[in-house]
Structure 1
Amino acid sequence: MTPLQRYIAEEIATDHVDGLMSRREALRRLGLLGLSTAAGAALIAACSQNRQEEAATSSPAAPQSPPESAPQSPSPSPTGPPPGMDAALSTAPVTWAGPAGELQGAWAEAPEPRGGILVIHENKGLNDWVRSVAGRLAGAGYSSLAIDLLSERGGTATFADPAEATAALGARPPEAMVADLKSGIAEVQNRTPGLEVAAIGFCMGGGLVWRLLASGAPELAAAFPFYGPTPDDPDFAGSSDVAVLGFYGELDQRVNATEPVARAALDRAGLVHELVTEPGANHAFFNDTGDRYDPAAAADAWRRTLDWLATHVG
């Protein structure tokens, strides 16, 4: 398996261990990634063992606070709108010429843009939630393009089964996706002439933000990887002018294990950066349509993101 496929497979297994999907469904989704039933069962067992070890080593009486943990924000109502939704703008489907064919996306245009943003989706593809993030950012003054990394397969909407969309994303070479992302950045620049641009990504998209930085992304003024895994031994020297604000959830030990690698690489490259661990939050805490949504963590991350944009983008 590729590193990206393994990351997705571990996420599926972890979702089952955490009670978010049945064993049957987890094995079905792992099968779509190419794992046999035996290999899928072994991965689930390994993730279950990891969870048990984490529980055994954690001490409720003396909790360990990750470095640079964010202070707890007052919790917004869990039934209220997610941060920024009250000002969200609508998106429109757009296409442009990519490096290997037509690329698709959703464009949200701010009336008086302060900058432009490329939005990179989770391993579920370009769905309504990702469009809502682009709309929220546009409502805050930053015209945003949510790219569809399944464009070469006709787009996310062509997949009736979301699990098949996830498997198709896992089968794509990361280098091909990074090439699409660079094309997306160029499209944002074309649509926001004279303004600074940024990139933001979630889950798999957060990992692709790290890969984008490792590939050299001097076009960016800022980057926001949300709980994305760091690639092995990255070199961010080609992105030395990018200001990076990364987010992690305290309970997301699988992704948090890669945080020291990101921090060391950022330090080596001399990038302006801050890595924030949201207390009590888990993986995908910003996605208000998911089971791990954390309103307090999402509100804090939104505030920090807008502050970072104002400082480094415009």
Structure 2
Amino acid sequence: MTQTHTQDYERADGRRLRLTYAEPDGAVRGGLVVLHEVGAVTDAARLLVASLAVEGWLAVAPDIGSATGGADQGEGAGAALLAATDTTLAWLVDRGVRGDQMGVVGFDLGGTAALVVAANRELGAAVSVGGRGIEVPAAPGLPPLIDIVGGLASPWLGLYGDNGDEAGQAEIDKLKELAGRSKIATNVVRYAGASHRFDADPDAAAEAWQRTLSWFDAHLR
């Protein structure tokens, strides 16, 4: 497996952020920001970073809690997320990645974050695998996802398990309907019976992984 590295990155404007990244062995196809779940960068996030590097992407996960010099803490989770993402994108630019070759991907709460970024930043592509907060905010400072999905700025793919219940199915179907009103490429796929983390359904997880790779293949050129 490709090795991951950690760097304390500082921009000229004073913003600082701890980054975990992995580089492909061959040519770099583009750069992907990996947004982690609650807390710091986990082993699961490191595995995702390494796996994306194997596929040819320069993948980097910001430790959002380590960010300094960005948004004021009182502005909430959304502002902190966007500030950390901007700093990470600047790191990719420093590494020679062009704007149309940049994307963002997140799992679980990171999937929620990826949609927030896709609604506020013009990137080549974004993917959310799972994620909470569709109708009720997942955290203070984050909007309900149904409020922002109709105005996306980046092509977005949403992959969701419905937990096998009618409420979960209805939420995801509503998100898909609203995403379809966006003026940019979107797709929402619902996996019947899978959990939001895809833990209990390896077939759904494998299919979601292939859809993720295909989305970036199609939109990051």
Q: Supply the distance in 2 between the matched residues of 1:208 and 1:258 (Cα, whole angstroms).
A: 17
Aligned match of 2:137? none
In 2: Cα distance, 1:275 partner to 1:309 partner: 15
Residue 105 (structure 1) aligns with = 19
Partner of residue 269, structure 1: 182
* Aligned residue in 2 for 1:62: none
Amino acid at match of 1:204: L
After TM superposition, the structure 1 = structure 2 runs for residues 279-294 of structure 1, keeping only pairs within 5 Å, are: 279-285=192-198, 292-294=199-201
Match of 1:28 in 2: none
State the Cα distance separating 1:302 from its structure 2 match: 1.1
Residue 198 of structure 1 aligns with which residue? 103
Query: Contact 2:115/2:127 (CA < 8 Å) preserved in 1?
Result: no
Aligned equivalents of 2:200 and 2:63: distance in 1? 23
Residue identity (%): 28
Contact 2:157 2:215 in 1 (8 A): yes
For 1:183, give the aligned amino acid.
T
Query: Letter of the aligned partner of 1:119 in structure 2?
Result: V
Q: Which amino acid aligns with 1:188?
A: L
Q: Quote the residue 1:244 is aligned against.
A: 156
Aligned equivalent of 1:130: 45
What is the alpha-carbon distance in structure 1 between the residues aligned to residue 172 and residue 82 of structure 2? 21
Distance 1:144 1:277, change over 3 A: same
**How big is the shift at 1:260?**
4.3
Which residues of 2 match residues 94-173 of structure 1 at below 5 A?
94-97=7-10, 101-110=15-24, 111-152=26-67, 173=77
> C-alpha distance in 1, partners of 2:162/2:106?
18
More helix by share: 1
Q: Secondary structure at the match of 1:148?
A: strand
Matched, 1:221 2:124: yes
Alignment of 1:177-188 (within 5 A): 177-188=81-92
**Residues 56-71 of structure 1: matches in 2 within 5 Å?**
none
Following TM superposition, the consecutive aligned residue runs of length 4 or more in structure 1 with deviations greater than 3 angstroms are: 98-101, 235-238, 252-258
Q: TM-score with structure 2 length normalisation?
A: 0.79
CA contact (8 A) 1:122 1:203 kept: yes
Alpha-carbon shift at residue 295 of structure 1 (Å) = 1.4
More strand by share: 2
In structure 2, relative to structure 1, the CA distance for the partners of 1:257 and 1:208 (3 Å cut) is: farther
Aligned length: 201
CA distance 1:192–1:235, change in 2 (3 Å): same
Unaligned ranges ≥5, structure 2:
135-142
Secondary structure in structure 1 of the residue aligned to 2:2: coil
| 2:138 aligned partner | none
CA RMSD of aligned residues (A): 2.6
Residue 151 of structure 1 aligns to a residue in which SS? strand
**Bigger mean CA offset, 180-189 vs 254-263:** 254-263
What secondary structure, in the 3-state scheme, does the structure 2 residue paired with 1:268 have? Answer: coil
Runs of at least 5 residues in structure 1 that lack an aligned partner in the other structure: 1-87, 154-168, 286-291
Aligned 8 A contact 1:144 1:188 in 2:
no
Spell out, residue by residue over 1:27-55, the C-alpha distance to the aligned partner (whole angstroms, 9 max, x if none). xxxxxxxxxxxxxxxxxxxxxxxxxxxxx
Bigger Rg over Cα: 1
Residue 137 of structure 1 contacts residue 144 of structure 1 at CA under 8 Å; is this kept in 2? yes
CA contact (8 A) 1:120 1:201 kept: yes
Measure the CA separation in 2 of the matches of 1:260 and 1:182.
31
